[in-house]
Structure 1
Amino acid sequence: MRQTFNLLRTSGAALLLALTAGPARAAEMAAAPAAAASQTLLLWFLLGTLAVVILLIVLVVAMLVVRLRPQLRRLYELPTVRPTWSGRVLGLLVGDPALVRGEVRDEILDHDYDGIHEFDNDLPPWWKYSFYATIVFAIGYVSYYHLAQAGPLQGAEYAAEMQQAALFVSADADDPNQLTTYQPLTAPGDLSSGKSLFATNCAPCHGVNAEGKVGPNLTDEYWLHGGEVNHVYKTVKFGVQGKGMVAWKGKLSGKQILQVSSYVLSLQGSKPAGAKAPQGEKESPSQPTAKR
């Protein structure tokens, strides 16, 4: 009896703890977004305060420079101050841009070309400093990416971005990155339908016998976008942007696209008259033949 009572007391305590912990946990989860919002507001407040302080410092320095400009000018004219780096910085404050423009000596060299004289002036300091900065950047870039291999190169970054982009594309029949797994149609009826579709829609660019006109020759072993039936299907369905090959998705059904793709492959090796020169890479796709 006592064991039963102890078991009931333990279960009751656990249930009470769960009931009391549940609202507390819910309150904690509800307070989390409010705390995050408070931290964001505090961050923006601190950044705004810092910007105001920096602006005030700049204004105070500018006012001091304006009021003390005659004294700074006399200091800048001292022979021991003007050639130094700090003196050149001081020169910017009093209106002498030699620090960024350089010294223009206007010294003419002792030769000329067709009456054109050449001055012996140094490159502007800003140009030389920029050039030195590019050298430092190049050394750091090569050391980080090529020697230490601590970061991905452009090819690896591109591959990673393409993988991430593929996650946002639906893997269905309308996904251009999802290759189909069709087999070429070989029935005479399908090839006859494909021939009619080709004559109506494809012949103006590829020729009546697929010998190639504006578009490439489709009867040889060379392909620009793959000669396997699923690659041809993809090219017909989605087109090739910027190359004149329109997308037939929405104009032809999926079966019609497969029929015309199978018909195109049935023309392999037909060698029509006036065939266009090969384009693309050599490939030997499986050639469908009509069933007897």
Structure 2
Amino acid sequence: MTRKTGPLLLAGLLQAGAAVAQEPAAAPAKTGGPDTQEMLFWFLLSTLVLVLLVFALLFTMIVVKLKPQLRKLYELPTVHDTWSGKVVGLLVGDTRLVNGERKDELMGHEYDGISEYDNDLPPWWKYGFYFTIVFAVGYMGYYHVANAGQLQLAEYETEMRQATLLVSAEADDPNKLTTYTALTAPADLAAGKSIFATNCAPCHGASAEGKVGPNLTDEYWLHGGEINHVYKTIKYGVTSKGMVAWKGKLAGKQILQVASYIQSLQGSKPAGAKEPQGEKEAGGKPLASK
């Protein structure tokens, strides 16, 4: 080592040490243990269950210990027939509060060895029935008289609107309608005819006259006859009616070629055409959104 290289090496070591000292300490790795909030939730839930069990045990012990005194209280004329007295009676073994006043009382009707008994409806059942009456009146007043709440159809429409806002407005979004115009070049229509004959004719017929699927040559449509509605129906399908989605099997241009070919068949009136289905569209503009 020469005289010049020694000081240079020392300076380099000092700079490296300073750089290491300035680097922040690495953050400790997170352990894979359970989340603290989850542990706290289960701890509080377990504590609540334990407290309820202790309370139930203490209540049972008190009732057993005080049963003679409760029975004397229950036998008092001023207590016996009151609602609170029936609660006390339930604690000492009288089930009138649950089963009613009359139990297996003969009504004097007997035929062919079969006797008719008179039994009370269980009070809990009667109180439940009264509650349903009050609830029904309140429900009608809230939803049908005051119109303060949404009915099922309105709730469904609101949820559908909210769901639409969450759907991405990408090019592959089924809620976003395309802005294509129909292809008219003979080559495109020939390609669309070939694709239609291979994939669509089994359901719609060789001339689109309709078989299992609807007739595509008339002016009645189930899901819109405008070129972009037809494109959407072919691309995404209508699974509820057996129409499969072709977006994974056909390219976008192929779908547009098929849709354009279908539009070119309007008014062709093929033999054996299926009866009209859906809504009529006038002047090429949909009145409703085959």
Match of 1:255 in 2: 253
CA gap 1:53/1:269 in 2 versus in 1, 3 angstroms: same
Distance 2:184 2:95 in 1: 81
Structural RMSD (CA): 3.5
Secondary structure (helix, strand or coil) at the match of 2:257 reads helix
Q: Which residue of 1 aligns with 2:288?
A: none
TM-score (norm 1): 0.71
Question: Measured at CA, do residues 103 and 219 of structure 1 come closer, stay the same or move farther in structure 2, by a change above 3 Å?
Answer: farther
Question: Residue type of the partner of 1:226?
Answer: G
Matches of 2:261 and 2:110, distance apart in 1: 74
| Secondary structure of 2:217 counterpart | coil
Query: Structure 1 residues 202 and 43, CA, compared in 2 at 3 Å: closer, same or farther?
Result: closer
Change (3 A) 1:172 1:59: same
Are the structure 2 counterparts of residues 160 and 74 from structure 1 closer, same or farther at C-alpha, using a change threshold of 3 Å? Answer: same
SS at structure 2 position matched to 1:86: helix
Q: CA deviation at 1:107?
A: 4.8
Partner of 1:168: 166
SS in 2 for 1:242: helix
Deviation at 1:198, TM superposition (A): 0.7
Q: Show structure 2 runs of 5+ residues with no match.
A: 1-35, 286-290
Alignment partner, residue 238 of structure 2: 240
Matches of 1:46 and 1:95, distance apart in 2? 36
2:185 & 2:65 partners in 1: Cα distance? 96
Note if 1:215 corresponds to 2:213.
Answer: yes
Larger radius of gyration: 2
Q: Which residue of 1 aligns with 2:85?
A: 87
The one-character-per-residue Cα deviations of 1:182-235 (angstroms, maximum 9, x if unpaired) are: 222222222211111111001111111112222222222222222222111111
Q: Structure 1 regions of 5+ residues with no counterpart?
A: 1-37, 288-292
CA shift in 2, pair 1:61/1:234, >3 Å:
same
- Deviation of the 1:57 alpha carbon: 3.1
Contact 1:227 1:285 in 2 (8 A): no
Q: Tell me which of 249, 271, 274 is aligned to 2:272.
A: 274
SS state at 1:130 partner: helix
Letter in 2 for 1:191: L
The 1:206–1:39 alpha-carbon spacing in structure 2 relative to 1, beyond 3 Å, is closer
- How far has the Cα of 1:177 moved from its partner? 1.0
Aligned equivalents of 1:56, 1:272: Cα separation in 2: 83
Q: C-alpha distance in 2, partners of 1:113/1:224? A: 65
Moved more, 53-62 or 208-217: 53-62
Could you tell me which of 30, 44, 59 is aligned with 2:57?
A: 59
Taking a change above 3 Å as real, the CA distance of residues 252 and 46 of structure 1, as seen in their structure-2 partners, is: closer
Q: Which residue of 1 aligns with 2:143?
A: 145
Work out whether residues 227 and 284 of structure 1, in 8 Å CA contact, stay in contact via their aligned partners in 2: no
Q: Read off the aligned partner of 1:236 and give its amino acid letter.
A: I
Change in 2 beyond 3 A, CA 1:107/1:59 = closer
What is the aligned length? 251
Structure 1 residues 258-279: Cα deviation after superposition (integer angstroms, max 9, x where no partner): 1111222222222222222222
Rounded Cα–Cα distance in structure 1 between residues aligned with 2:102 and 2:196: 74
Once the 2 structures are TM-superposed, how far is the Cα of residue 79 of structure 1 from its aligned partner? 4.7
- For 2:219 and 2:77, the matched residues in 1 are separated by 82
Alignment of 1:109-120 (within 5 A): 119-120=117-118
**Counterpart in 1 of 2:67?**
69
